[in-house]
Structure 1
Amino acid sequence: MTDPTSLPYRPGAGVMLLNREGKVFVAQRIDSTLEAWQMPQGGLEEGEDPQDGALRELEEETGIDRDKVEILARCPLELTYDLPGELVGKMWKGKWRGQRQHWFLARFLGRDEEIDIATATPEFRAWKWAEPAELPAMIVPFKKQLYEKLLDAFRAWL
């Protein structure tokens, strides 16, 4: 078995998307039966600008066009999370130990009816708006610390 600490982090990006009431978009993964919710995020393509990648992931996962989003802030640090040991060899063909992510805070300028998680390759089975303070309790445990750091980084806007 591969030592997870010998593996690199997968480059990624994510979006904390706020609605007009200051609530955060969260969704449940289609490939999980857990009652966990997460914000849109994913891997960056080779050489892709992190903000472009974050907006691409947002559109791929939610159907929200980038012209319906205003970027408010960028987290000053890249944040990482490690996969639990039992997932290291299963996810991403065993190439990564977790993700190293660029995060962006954005405001949704559209209407809820414009959100469509039934995309070409759906990743989510349900979505809702949540209070920012609820986020750490809603996410899978191995991402909890990352979500707490995001709340601290974006506190001035929340």
Structure 2
Amino acid sequence: MAIQIGDKAPEVLGTDQNGNEIKLSDFKGRKIALYFYPKDNTSGCTAQACSLRDGYESLRAAGYEVIGVSKDSAKSHQGFISKQELPFNLIADTETKLQEQFGVWAEKSMYGRKYMGTLRTTFIINEEGVVERIITPKEVNTKDHANQILNN
């Protein structure tokens, strides 16, 4: 069953680009913008990451921490962070465990071909670790995502 508004987020979120375990309790007292995206270094995902990078100081000032999640490897994440100068961590969810918990690993379709992939979704988790808002794939504006989070 996918995580919904009002549910507590899992304590262990995953492992970041440097092999460090990321836990909910690491961010006690802060809100988390946990965003799931399909793939490093693709146009939409780069636009979204850069919007969050450019709005990072405003997000931090508003009490948010930003964490990205995709199926890409830690090595891929390191390159993406370096290339785009991202100031936040990316979780390497290579086995899609976190994506499945949040219900964003799903069947997609392109040109009539069906495949499993990540639904671009952002979960806003409050200071107590409870999901208080979900920005769905249809709602995510990759080029203005930081403002979307700030101006809920």
Structure showing greater Rg: 1
Question: With structure 1 as the length reference, what TM-score do the two structures score?
Answer: 0.27
- What TM-score results when the alignment is normalised by the length of structure 2? 0.27
